[in-house]
Amino acid sequence: MDTGNLSVVSEFVLLGLCQSWAMQVLLLLIFFMLYLIIVSGNIAIMILIIIDTHLHSPMYFLLANLSFVDMWLSSVTTPKMITDLVRENKTISFGGCMCQILFVHFVGGGEMVLLVVMAYDRYVAICKPLHYSTIMNLQKCLGLVVISWTIGFVHAMSQMAVIMQLPFCGPREMDSFFCDIPLVIKLACMDSHSLGMLMNADSGVLAMTCFILLLISYTYILFTVRQGSKTSASRALSTCTAHITVVVLFFGPCIFIYVWPLSITWVDKFLAVFYSVITPLLNPAIYTLRNKEIKNAMKRFRSYYLHAKENI
């Protein structure tokens, strides 16, 4: 390809979720409120786990990390989507687009591995309870979290190494509300079909590997639970149900975006919204509503706050 005649694309145009002004105003209000709930909810969980000594255990350490990751993942795309709903010209700079791709895959890849780590934690707690404190010590937990971030970073950089080399010379419009690899590759001035499949396969391999490991872990846990007492089985199932729900909500959209793309615009937009807004919103709700210890920690915090207020 003669790259000498290629002009440099300095920005891309995002077509957004819809074209109707009335609908955009409605979506602005909805997503602004949802984003506030995402940030406040996940921050509340992190603070609660930090200040309540009853929650200083590997499971809640990992949950605090998941809350941080969810908040960051939503913050990569949602604020830009919200501000674009009130703008006539929905553009994003080339650098901003590359940053979105980098952080979506960095944080998203890290969350996939973190969910596997959380499943491993539940596996050790339920299947090897006598060795739990030895296996899941603080050093091991920190190491596993660092590994999840490292894998996410390596995955994102492997994607960026290819994307940054693509030639862009003309088309600039993406029918979405944020930059993602399949859409950006289509704008490259080259035959991008094979490259698009390769890049999707890169993300798909990570997603499917983590998903299969999760299925194996929870299947083994469920078989172990069936052999235990009814009381322990009920508690284990309650915890695992919350984890499995989060896994399905997170990996479902990922699989349909990267592993089995449907190539239907409105479906792709719905999955992207689900992935970046709905999942980070539901995670804190699922864990707080189904977790007795989190509920008790919230009651202790509320009692402490009211007691301190009365003493002022």
Phi, psi for 30 (deg, rounded to 5): -65, -50
Instruction: List phi, psi (to 5°) of 17.
Output: -85, -35
Structural domain includes residue 246: yes
**Predicted TM-score (pTM) of this structure:** 0.86
Length of the chain (residues): 312
140-169 confidence digits (pLDDT tens): 999 999 999 999 999 999 989 888 888 887
| 137 lies in some domain | yes
- Residue 187: domain span: 9-301
CB 275 within 8 A of CB 253: yes
- CA 260, 264, 268, 270 torsion-angle sign: negative
Residue 234 within a domain: yes
Residue 2 domain-assigned (yes or no): no
Strands 11-14 and 91-93: antiparallel
Q: Which of 283, 284, 258, 282 is CA-nearest to residue 271? A: 258
Q: Can you read off the two tokens belonging to residue 199?
A: 């890049």
In this structure, what are the phi and psi dihedrals at residue 93, rounded to the nearest 5 degrees?
-65, 160
Q: Which token pair is 123?
A: 């596996």
Tell me if 204 is assigned to some domain: yes
Q: How many domains does the chain have?
A: 1
Distance separating alpha carbons of residues 187 and 298, to the nearest angstrom: 49
Domain assignment present for residue 311? The answer is no
pLDDT tens digits along 231-287:
666 666 666 777 777 788 888 777 777 766 666 677 778 888 887 888 888 877 777
Q: From first to last of its 312 residues, what are the pLDDT tens digits of the chain?
A: 444 444 467 788 888 888 888 888 899 999 999 999 999 989 988 999 998 888 888 988 999 999 999 999 999 999 999 998 888 888 899 889 999 999 999 999 999 999 999 989 988 988 888 889 899 988 999 999 999 999 999 999 998 988 888 888 777 888 888 888 888 888 888 777 777 778 878 888 888 899 889 888 888 888 887 776 666 666 666 667 777 777 888 887 777 777 666 666 777 788 888 878 888 888 777 776 667 778 788 788 777 766 666 666
What does the alpha-carbon distance between residue 49 and residue 123 come to, in Å, rounded to a whole number? 21
Would 312 be classed as within a structural domain? no
Residue matched to tokens 């000498």:
4
Does the residue 287 lie in any domain?
yes
User: Which CATH number does the domain housing residue 96 bear?
Assistant: 1.20.1070.10
Residue among 1, 148, 138, 19 at smallest CA distance from 85: 19
The DSSP letter of residue 167 is -
